[in-house]
Amino acid sequence: VRRFEQASATRTHCSPPSNAVIHAADHALFVNEQQGDRLRLRLWSLVSRFQNGMAKAGLSTHGGDFPVQTWEPSPDINPVEVHEALLQRGLMTVLHPARHGFQAQISFLITALHRVQDIDHATEALRLVTQRGASPEFPWEKHYEKSIQL
């Protein structure tokens, strides 16, 4: 460690963390201590609900228990159009290249702040958008004004 400290240019090229970063880290540790287990359980249950909703809709995701759930469309579906259709319905997803590089994928980022109805709306929206000949209108659209980021 002593040799690394003497030879390293880290102290020359890096600034110490700002007060804002230190306070944010302190707050994150406090929240984790107070309610971390409850928040992690809530997040896991939302991810599980999303996976189950996708399976019921005949759609598959990968991502395991991780809150980033990726849907890889079949070759006959244009993921860019699906991404745009979801965006028009207030669902913000992440469009990115597939690992194999042939087609894009759509990822849903789930947080403990999402509500059960947000998850249900996301799975239903994707089902309707990807269903051939589906109505462009969603039955819940006029009652659901908040934009959800998934």
SS3 per-residue string spanning the chain: CHHHHHHCCHHHHCCCCCHHHHHHHHHHHHHHHHHHHHHHHHHHHHHHHHHHHHHHCCCCEECCCCCEEEECCCCCCCHHHHHHHHHHCCEECEEEECCCCCCEEEEEECCCCCCHHHHHHHHHHHHHHHCCCCCCCCCCHHHCCCCEEC
Beta bridge partners of 95: 106
The predicted pLDDT at position 75 comes to: 82
Residues in the chain, pLDDT under 50? 133-147
CA distance 72 to 59: 9
Which pLDDT does position 101 carry in this prediction? 66
pLDDT at 150: 59
pLDDT reported for residue 146: 47
Q: What is the pLDDT of residue 140?
A: 39
Whether 123 and 57 have beta carbons less than 8 Å apart is answered as yes
- Please tell me the predicted confidence (pLDDT) of residue 43: 98
Position 133 scores a pLDDT of 42
Q: According to the model, what pLDDT value does residue 24 have?
A: 97
CA 4, 5, 7, 10 torsion-angle sign: positive
> pLDDT at position 41, please?
97
The pLDDT of residue 30: 98
